[in-house]
Chain A
Amino acid sequence: MASTDERPFPPGDYPVVVVGSGPGGLQTSYCLSRLGVEHAVLSADEEPGGMFRLYPIFQRLLSWSKPDAPAERGARAYEWFDHNSLLAEEAEHQALVPEFMDRTFMVPSRPEMEQGLAAFANRVPVSVRYSCRWEATRRDDDGRLVLTTSDGEYRCRAAVFAVGVTTPWKSPIPGIEQVPHYVECGDPPEYQGRRVFVVGKRNSAFEIADGLLPWARQVILGSPRPVQTTVIALSTVRVRYLQPYEDYGLGGGTFALDLAVERIERRGERWGVVGQGTTRPGPIDLEVDDVFAATGFSAPLLDLPALGVRTVAQGRIPALTPFWESAPGSGIYFAGNATQGAAGLRKHGVGASSAAVHGFRYNARVMAAHLAANHLGVRAPRERVERDRLVPYLLDEVSSAPELWAQKSYLARTVSEDGETEILPLAGWLDDPGGRSTAVAVEMNAAGEIYPAVYVANGGGVREILLPPHELNDFRGADYERELRAVL
């Protein structure tokens, strides 16, 4: 008897195709399904979980999930305390990652994260055609996108690429091609007694340093820019990985040098790292046993640049509209980690959280609604706020809406003149606020103060009003009501 392929989504025509089965792809598929949008999900992997099936290499995640938190598990406000679970409307599909945590830390281990994502995919369920690799892309004469895959061709009006930022990337330093990338780092005991140099001073560099510190003789990190630790939200290194930095600060043998590496060269069994100091100018020449390039990742865009997809961050990330499309109307959308390509306003230098699950899960929900409305004419149902409830409603949102807390100055609660409300990208709303309408966001300044921002559109321009911070981040009191009422 001939074998039959029982996998879902055979090659053919679909309104939408989603590529990827990591958190971005799973969340997008879930949201499209809730909107009733037919779509295919394709993945080169054999199981759900995306990058979390492999990385981070030392199993240490960055984002918290607090099994017990100020808000009850299952409440909308709880999402802010659980940065790793995907969003669902059904109680049994919410907050799945904490279910698998052994509570050794308030962040899940990599396998706990992977289990949480697999549980989401299996329980919802999210159907995925696994072992189907996207290989090329073109546009048909009728404007539809054609995705060539290892299984055949898929035609669609819009495609969502949730393929992560997963391709190891090395900065162009002569000799760097000879040394392993972060992803090739071995087990820590292999580095016992060795002197290790890590090119880079961001999360992956500090993760290696943190992992090797109990084994290596010495760890030295080097990159041109200094580590910024003054304001955590502005820091390029999360607290989770700061142990090696503390060691450096206390003179414990670890070094985090501000160094422009000019070349890496073989010196017998060892390596030479040659460069120039930046913060403290002068030549630096180090001899070490091992060198790692912890210089980041790029999004695997394949041939998408030929379809007009621009890039940012030295060609590593797609440049996106506020609604995470490569260009308005292109039908080429991104989900997951690559949504950091829509930078937003970056007020006070504070970036969005789009490179992490707790940020991009909300991007996916907003993007799905935008895609459905703009490419398929499917309008997501919207809540309505009565005029007399507007002030307490907005203050409640800035106090506890997880979208606004996760994506500061980036996602906003908007209310139109007739009371329709939705979460939108702040930059997109500012470009087209649609007559008299209001938006609120949670924002943070360089001093680390967190406060509500109110944007009022009156048909001409948009007025920005910043409300004061509150010591318990609760903006629901009478003073705030009075102030907001005066503004509106």
Chain B
Amino acid sequence: MSVDARDELVRSLAGLALFADLGDPDLEAIADPEWERSFAEGERVLRRGLSGGGLFVILDGEAAVEIPDGSEPRRLRRGDFFGEVSTLLVCRPTADVVARTPLHCLEIPGPQLEAFLLHYPQVTYRMLQTVTRRLRDLLE
């Protein structure tokens, strides 16, 4: 198997806005194979009503947020993250997130998210920016 695979993962992470402030040692620490998840097209990534999920960051591929009210599914692409509401508030997700193409993600498990965000404040700051932008878009 390619020995470049880990390096590819590090480079892939380095290209995401969320991790843009981190150096290689930090990126290597984040590029944990146990956090790497792969989903086939059509597979559910986040499940409505199920506890115990994590924060997902899309590395490659597309997903859609499917809310049961029938509204147009919101598309998620490389660099987008989801699962932060249910993870941070320790509640069950209110929507399904479904892979629309083969999907490659990093999943930070719920119980490790607090330590992760405290250890990488630059990531936390960028996440806060994105969440604030989403809030502004909703309010406008």
Contact = CB atoms under 8 A, between A and B. Distances in A.
B139 interface: no
Given A327-B40, A347-B50, A348-B111, A225 B25 contact: no
B111 A446 contact: yes
Interface in B85-102: 92, 102
Contacts of B53: 347
Given A225-B29, A345-B50, A169 B38 contact: no
Contacts of B31: 224, 314
A275 B26 CA distance: 12
A313 B36 contact: yes
A418 B2 CA distance: 49
B33 A277 contact: no
Contacts of B37: 312, 343, 346
B51 A314 contact: no
A306 to B, nearest CB: 14
Contacts of B24: 260, 276
Interface stretch (A86-94, A389-397, A459-467): A459-467
Given A225-B32, A346-B107, A348-B109, A169 B1 contact: yes
A469 interface: no
Given A172-B7, A351-B34, A224 B29 contact: yes
A234 B43 CA distance: 25
A205 B106 CA distance: 24
B2 A315 contact: yes
A263 B31 CA distance: 18
Binding site of A, secondary structure by majority: helix, strand, loop or mixed? loop
B52 interface: yes
A298 B5 CA distance: 12
B40 A319 contact: yes
A167 interface: yes
Contacts of A258: 29
A78 B65 CA distance: 43
B82 to A, nearest CB: 15
Of A275, A321, A346, which is in contact with the most chain B CB atoms at under 10 Å from its CB? Answer: A346
B52 A260 contact: no
Interface in A343-395: 343, 345-349, 351
Given A260-B25, A260-B28, A464-B92, A347 B52 contact: yes
Interface string A256-290: 00111000000000000001111101000000000
A315 B4 CA distance: 9
Contacts of A171: 3, 6
B1 A349 contact: no
A275 B25 contact: yes
B48 A461 contact: yes
B52 A345 contact: yes
Contacts of B119: 279
A445 B36 CA distance: 20
A347 B4 CA distance: 30
A277 B54 contact: no
Contacts of B4: 172
Contacts of A150: none
A443 B66 CA distance: 26
Interface in B16-61: 23-26, 28-29, 31-34, 36-38, 40, 43-44, 47-54
Contacts of B76: none
B13 interface: no
A315 B36 CA distance: 10
B9 interface: yes
Interface in A73-116: none
Contacts of B28: 224, 260, 278
Nearest to A305: B1
A60 interface: no
A464 B53 CA distance: 13
B49 A462 contact: yes
B94 to A, nearest CB: 11
Nearest to A460: B68
A461 B38 CA distance: 24
A316 interface: yes
B44 A349 contact: no
A277 B3 CA distance: 22
B5 A314 contact: yes
A227 B107 CA distance: 18
Contacts of A279: 29, 119
B51 A464 contact: yes
A240 B44 CA distance: 36
A236 B110 CA distance: 17
A28 interface: no
Given A224-B29, A225-B32, A446-B111, A316 B5 contact: yes
A345 B43 CA distance: 12
A431 B44 contact: yes
Given A313-B36, A346-B107, A443-B52, 10 more contacts: A225-B29, A260-B29, A278-B29, A301-B1, A311-B38, A312-B33, A316-B5, A319-B38, A347-B53, A461-B48
18 contacts: A172-B5, A172-B6, A234-B109, A236-B34, A275-B25, A277-B25, A301-B1, A312-B37, A314-B31, A314-B33, A327-B40, A345-B47, A346-B54, A347-B53, A348-B109, A349-B109, A430-B50, A461-B49
Interface of B: 1-9, 23-26, 28-29, 31-34, 36-38, 40, 43-44, 47-54, 68, 92, 102, 107, 109-112, 119
Lowest 6 CB-CB distances: which A-B pairs, in order? A349-B109, A347-B52, A446-B111, A260-B25, A224-B29, A314-B5
